Amino acid sequence: LTLAFIGDGASAGSYGYTNSGYSVYEEENERLTESLRTKVSAIKSLSIEIGTEVKNQNKMLSEMDNDFDSAGGLLGATMGRLRTLSRGSQTKLLCYMMLFALFVFFVVYWIIKLR
């Protein structure tokens, strides 16, 4: 009875069929593994490129931050000088500066109009 049970499901021909089915699954598994390997490699190189680009962008942002800080300091110093100029009795100097600015404006306007 035990021999018949074992013999019912496993004949000599079915071993070859099972092995060939296993071989098909093994080949598909290898193909999918290779496909996954290439995808992982592509993602790795892409992430390395993104990391390099992020480093470059951070460096550029840091440089821009320094430039804005220096421009802010220069603007603050200029505003301080203008406050000092407006508080003092130097209204005559301020009037001269306004007249000079108007003169420059009219000269530029005249040059543009002649073109």
pLDDT of residue 29: 93
Q: Does the residue 108 lie in any domain?
A: no
Q: Are 94 and 102 in contact (CB under 8 A)?
A: no
Number of domains the chain is built from: 1
Q: Does the residue 110 lie in any domain?
A: no
pLDDT digits (tens, 9 = 90+) for 44-84: 999 999 999 999 999 999 999 998 888 888 888 888 887 87
Query: Residue 106, by phi and psi: left (phi above 0), alpha (psi -120 to 50) or beta?
Result: alpha
Q: Does the residue 4 lie in any domain?
A: no
Where in the sequence is the domain holding 80, given as residue range(s)? 22-89
Query: Residue 11, by phi and psi: left (phi above 0), alpha (psi -120 to 50) or beta?
Result: beta
* pTM confidence score: 0.45
Q: Does the residue 48 lie in any domain?
A: yes
pLDDT digits (tens, 9 = 90+) for 9-24: 444 444 444 556 678 8
Q: Does the residue 114 lie in any domain?
A: no
Q: Does the residue 96 lie in any domain?
A: no
